[in-house]
Amino acid sequence: MFLELNNVGKTFKDKEQGEFEVFSDIDLSIEKKEFVSLLGPSGCGKSTLLSMVAGLEHATTGSMSLEGHEIKQAGPDRGMVFQQASLFPWLNVKDNVMFPLKSTMSKKEAEERADHFLKMVHLSRFKKHYTYELSGGMQQRVAIARALAMDPKVLLMDEPFGALDEQTRHILHDELIKVWQETQKTILFVTHSIQEAIKLSDRIIVMGTRPGRIIADFNVDIPRPRSRSDERVIQFEDEVMNLLKGEINKVLKEELTNEIEYSY
Amino acid sequence: MKLNILIKRILFLVAVLGIWQLIFTLGILEEIIFPSPTSVGEALYNGFTRGDFVGALGASFKHLFIGLFMAIAFGTILGVILGKSKQADETAGMYLIAMQSIPSIVWVPLAIMLFGFSEFAVIFVVVLGGTFVMALNVRTAIQSVPPQFLRAAKTMGTSGFRMFFRVEVPSSVPYFMTGLRLAWAFSWRALMAGELLSNGPGLGYSLAYAQDYARMDQVVAIIVIIGVIGAFADQLVFSKLEKNVRSRWGLA
Amino acid at A228: R
CA dihedral B164, A139, B251, A190 (to 10 degrees): -70
pLDDT tens sequence across B2-47: 788 899 999 999 999 999 999 999 988 888 889 999 999 999 999 9
- Note whether residue A93 is domain-resident: no
Distance CA B138, CA A172 (A): 39
Q: Give the per-residue pLDDT at B1.
A: 57
How many angstroms from the chain centroid is the CA of residue B84?
A: 27
Amino acid at B94: M
Q: Phi and psi dihedrals of A8, rounded to 5?
A: -75, 135
Query: What does the pLDDT average to over B220-231?
Result: 94
Interface test with A, best of B150, B156, B243 (most A CBs within 10 A): B156
Evaluate the omega torsion of the peptide bond into residue A225 and state whether it is cis, within 30 degrees of 0.
Answer: yes
- Note whether residue A238 is domain-resident: yes
Task: Look at the pTM and tell me if it is higher than 0.90.
Answer: no
Name the residue in chain A with its Cα closest to that of B250: A132
**Chain A neighbors of B156, CB-CB under 8 A:** 76, 79, 99-100, 146, 150
Q: In sequence order, which residues have a C-beta less than 8 Å from that of residue A91 and are 6 or more positions away?
A: A99, A130, B170
pLDDT tens sequence across A186-239: 999 999 999 999 999 999 999 988 788 899 999 999 998 888 889 999 999 999
**With 0-12 CB in 10 A as exposed, 13-18 as middle and 19+ as buried, what is B203?**
buried
Q: DSSP letters along B135-199, please?
A: HHHHHHHHHTS-HHHHHHHHHTT--HHHHIIIIIHHHHHHHHHHHHHHHHHHHHHHHHHHHHTSS
Distance CA A43, CA A212 (A): 8
Q: In sequence order, which residues have a C-beta less than 8 Å from that of residue A34 and are 6 or more positions away?
A: A2, A186, A187, A202, A203
Name the residue in chain A with its Cα closest to that of B147: A86
d(CA A75, nearest CA chain B) in Å: 5
Please indicate whether, in this complex, the C-beta atoms of B171 and A82 are within 8 angstroms of each other.
Answer: no
C-alpha closest to that of A240 among A183, A202, A200, A192: A192
Distance CA B212, CA B218 (A): 11
Please indicate whether, in this complex, the C-beta atoms of A88 and B155 are within 8 angstroms of each other.
Answer: no
Please indicate whether, in this complex, the C-beta atoms of B149 and A88 are within 8 angstroms of each other.
Answer: yes
- Note whether residue A257 is domain-resident: yes
Which of A75, A132, A150 is facing B248, going by the closest CB pair?
A132
Distance CA B13, CA B17 (A): 6
**Chain B neighbors of A103, CB-CB under 8 A:** 157, 162
**Chain A neighbors of B149, CB-CB under 8 A:** 86, 88
Distance CA B197, CA A201 (A): 76
Please indicate whether, in this complex, the C-beta atoms of B249 and A55 are within 8 angstroms of each other.
Answer: no
Q: Phi and psi dihedrals of A218, rounded to 5?
A: -100, 145
C-alpha closest to that of B184 among B239, B140, B122, B225: B239
Q: Give the per-residue pLDDT at B147.
A: 94
**Chain A neighbors of B249, CB-CB under 8 A:** 89-90, 132
Interface test with B, best of A99, A105, A134, A153 (most B CBs within 10 A): A99
Q: DSSP letters along A186-234, please?
A: EEEEEES-HHHHHHH-SEEEEEETTTBEEEEEEE---PSSPPTT-HHHH
Please indicate whether, in this complex, the C-beta atoms of B167 and A79 are within 8 angstroms of each other.
Answer: no
- Domains of chain B listed by start with CATH number: 36-248 (1.10.3720.10)
- Note whether residue A113 is domain-resident: no
- The interface predicted TM-score (ipTM) is 0.89
- Note whether residue A175 is domain-resident: no
| Residues of chain A under the 50 pLDDT cut | none
Please indicate whether, in this complex, the C-beta atoms of A76 and B167 are within 8 angstroms of each other.
Answer: no
Query: What does the pLDDT average to over B180-209?
Result: 93
In this predicted structure, which of A9-18, A95-104, B69-78, B93-102 has the lowest mean pLDDT?
A9-18
C-alpha closest to that of B70 among B199, B150, B183: B183
Name the domain count of chain A.
1
- Note whether residue A47 is domain-resident: yes
Helix (H) or strand (E) holding A53: helix A46-54
**With 0-12 CB in 10 A as exposed, 13-18 as middle and 19+ as buried, what is A50?**
buried
Name the residue in chain A with its Cα closest to that of B173: A90
Angle of the B119-143 helix axis to the B86-100 helix axis, nearest 10: 130
- Note whether residue A144 is domain-resident: no
Please indicate whether, in this complex, the C-beta atoms of B149 and A86 are within 8 angstroms of each other.
Answer: yes
**With 0-12 CB in 10 A as exposed, 13-18 as middle and 19+ as buried, what is B156?**
buried
C-alpha closest to that of B167 among B190, B142, B186, B184: B142
Name the residue in chain B with its Cα closest to that of A82: B152
Q: Which CATH number does the domain housing residue A65 bear?
A: 3.40.50.300
**Chain B neighbors of A50, CB-CB under 8 A:** none
Does the pLDDT at position B159 exceed 60? yes
d(CA B110, nearest CA chain A) in Å: 43
DSSP conformation class of B8: H
Expressed as residue numbers, the domain containing A58 is 3-77+156-163+188-263
Distance CA B212, CA B92 (A): 43
C-alpha closest to that of A187 among A161, A154, A225: A154
Distance CA B20, CA B9 (A): 17
- Note whether residue A256 is domain-resident: yes
Q: Give the per-residue pLDDT at A253.
A: 79
The contact set of B with A (CB < 8 A) is 146, 148-149, 151-158, 162, 166-167, 170-171, 173, 247-250
Distance CA A137, CA B105 (A): 54
Q: Give the per-residue pLDDT at A224.
A: 87
Which of B146, B149, B157 is facing A75, going by the closest CB pair?
B157
